[in-house]
Chain A
């Protein structure tokens, strides 16, 4: 049991990222409200960023601002940080695009409930 507890403590960030991913995913599937769907999409996004950044972290090392000796054993891995940095800005533009789509859907159907939109669209097609 203490073995398990120790690995939970060791892998705390990864476990947190996986749980957040699960929360985001299940809400993405089950929520009817489109705004809630977008928020859960954002939660999934940031959980993946958390996982990536935790893979680049190395215990006892500092951020890669090379002020002293350029010795690789002093700094953390800069690659995940760079990937996540661009990812955060792209995720905000993606969610802006989603929100614009939601605004158009609301203008057309007068609701943000997914089921109602589907029903109204089916009715319109008939």
Chain B
């Protein structure tokens, strides 16, 4: 098995692990942060699939903007522990 295939397997497995942990974690903030990590792993996969356009977009959108939108929503629904509104 060539080394790149092993690397791709590792990335896919870490994608699945990230998805499972994001959806089973108790704290919502942890779920959002793990989802951002999921997006970053996805970015590397796009590069391996020879689609650099997708990699740039996913890095900016998935790991950046979506994470911020989720975090602001968590603030609004008072799901963040240790912030000033508690």
Contact = CB atoms under 8 A, between A and B. Distances in A.
A–B proximity contact (CB within 8 A): yes
A46 to B, nearest CB: 6
B56 to A, nearest CB: 10
Contact of B77 (A76, A89, A103): A103
B23 A40 contact: yes
Contact of B74 (A23, A24, A35, A53): A35
B37 interface: no
B19 A103 contact: no
Nearest to B16: A19
Interface residues of A, number: 43
A12 B5 contact: yes
Contacts of A76: 50-51
B50 A12 contact: no
Nearest to B52: A63
Interface in B37-57: 38-39, 42, 45-46, 49-54, 57
B23 A36 contact: yes
Interface of A: 9, 12-13, 15-16, 19-20, 23-24, 27, 31, 33, 35-36, 38-40, 42-43, 46, 49-50, 53-54, 56-57, 61-63, 76, 81, 84-85, 88-89, 92, 95-96, 99, 102-103, 106, 112
